[in-house]
Chains A and B, each alone.
Chain A
Amino acid sequence: MDVFIQTFVAGILIGGIYAVIGIGMTLIMGVMKIINLAHGQLMMVAMYITYVLFEQFHLDPYFALLVAMPSLFVLGALLQKYLLNPLLKVDSILPENQVLMTVGIAMVLTEIIRFIFHSDYKSVRTSYSTATFYVGGISFSIALIIAFGIAVLLTVGLFFFLLKTDVGKSVRATAQNKDAALLMGINAEWITILTYGLGSALAAAAGTLLLPIYYLFPDIGGPFTLKAFVITMLGGMGSTVGAILGGIVLGVAESLGATYISMALKDAVAMVIFLLVLIFLPGGLKTLTKI
């Protein structure tokens, strides 16, 4: 039983970080109706920024958030402004042009990073990376607890932004109906740039939070892009609450899969859940929450 609770707790904690990745993706999907296949790669770039800050300036990864998030916000906004938005005006056969463009962006980001840092595995070892404490026989990783806490704070902040501020309301309006939003005087193009920036910044946050407990190499982006869209699908497209639930479900499922099935098939567990959701609950968990 202890093993089960331990696995469950670890799953929920990691799920909190996954939720942040998922929220970023779901925001982008909600507003622009595209799937951002560069999401994991943006996260990877942020991880390398944090890594460099740690190696060169011995900056604690959690303070590096303050650098990584704004940098990725700017990077994301530029990508949206100069690469993704112009595609709306291009006449092409495939409506998925923007999605394919994000694939191109993902490849370029990965390769640039590989060029600079090579394919070696890197990690950031802080004093608290392996520290744990025990509550009733269940061990809690301190790094994970801090990461989970920051993830919750970020999520609450994002909800405040989306629900209470004018800009946040514009984002939600654009997501609901772009044409109507345009008629209401919302600068939809600007909102898309802001959203992509925000999504990237959230991915950056998740990457930085993961770094003390994870390892880093240029190809890490791909698996996380997959995770991000599994979360988004699980939660239901464009639903922020759904993404939180999706992240936690994925975290727990992976954790249980790794413990009870096989470590190697951990990722396959996520994919199988994903397909089951697609088949039996196409709307995602959103349809169960009514939010």
Chain B
Amino acid sequence: MKRISWQTILIIALLLLFPVVIKSDYYRHIFIISLMWVVIGSAWNLLAGYTGQVSFGHAIFFGTGAYTAGLCVTKLGISAWWGMLLGGPVALLVGLIIGWICFRLRGPYFALATIAVGEIFRLVAIDWRTLTEGMEGILIIQTFRSKLPYYYLALALATACVFTIYLVLNSKWGYYFVAIREDQDVAEAIGISSFRYKSLSLMISSYFTGMAGAFYMNYMAFIDPHVVFSLHDISIMAILVAIIGGVGTLWGPAVGAFIMVWLQEIFRSAFFGLLPQWVSEAHVLVFGLLVIFVIRYMANGIVGDWSKIVGHWFKKKPLSYSSSGN
């Protein structure tokens, strides 16, 4: 249980030191966004990678969190930081309701239902102008000019998220989740209420995604329905982050988040301006090709198939749920 390895401590220490060493706002920004994606990717991974419920609708929770924070300002007239408190619980509530509707479906049908719900949220957010301002979006004023507070907040959020998931996976719940993923009927037969534990998994997942959304609102200071409820930029990105890093591994989404955000940034800036401008239009194409490649040749992602990539020393690591995957 209490094997927090020296690698973990080293990574956290490096991340803590990072903004002290690197003064460039540009790199700090990329790291902040990466850390935010660590949260979303890990949250998605708990639901999909460990509990087996592939969601195409994490933008729902992200958007709900972001709008909760935004509405704190526009409707309640309080600071958007209250959204950091409220965003998670509100997203969790939404998650509960969605779970109640969608968990009667299994496998791919669940995935489809989440796309449908996600689209409903996006369309309603566009159309319900009196509440959400529609496509004009919500604009607030950033609290801090420096990136530093945001960086440490994102780091704290990411650490809390990964650590919570680590604790959950090492508890009884974690084993129940994996049992449901492996075979729902068998899990039911040995007395695991699949509905209850799927809901619990979704609750944790939506809570952290909502927190990430609220953080996004505070950090970027602008949201509109196409940004935060986007099927491609949020829901599918969450999936990509997790599958490229490794579905069903604790560190997979964290690795995937950094890879994806960096890739996106490298392509968006056309290799930092070294290549012609048309390269910047190709980043989604590269994502797509990467997904095809990873699914085809590294089905368990970079972390999950690490042993395949560089020999077998990785097996000593704890939490190798992935190796027994089916």
Contact = CB atoms under 8 A, between A and B. Distances in A.
Contact of A107 (B107, B247, B284, B300): B284
Given A100-B291, A268-B123, A112 B231 contact: no
Contacts of A33: 108
A97 B304 CA distance: 15
Interface stretch (A57-65, A67-75, A120-128, A222-230): A222-230
Contacts, number: 138
Main secondary structure of the interface of A (DSSP, over half): helix
A278 B48 CA distance: 21
Contact of B116 (A104, A111, A230): A230
Interface string B94-109: 0000000110110111
A35 B299 contact: no
A262 B126 CA distance: 13
Main secondary structure of the interface of B (DSSP, over half): helix
B120 A107 contact: no
B127 A35 contact: no
B54 interface: yes
Given A105-B288, A222-B231, A271-B116, A94 B54 contact: yes
B325 interface: yes
The residue in A100, A103, A108, A110 that gathers the most chain B C-beta atoms within 10 A of its C-beta is A100
Given A86-B296, A93-B248, 15 more contacts: A87-B296, A91-B326, A92-B325, A93-B326, A95-B52, A96-B111, A99-B108, A99-B111, A101-B296, A104-B288, A106-B288, A110-B284, A233-B109, A271-B119, A275-B117
Minimum-distance CB pairs A-B, first 8: A107-B288, A92-B299, A104-B291, A111-B285, A93-B325, A108-B288, A268-B123, A93-B248
Interface of B: 48-49, 52, 54, 101-102, 104-105, 107-109, 111-113, 115-117, 119-120, 123-124, 126-127, 181, 231-232, 236, 239, 243, 247-248, 281-282, 284-285, 287-289, 291-292, 295-296, 299-300, 304, 322, 325-326
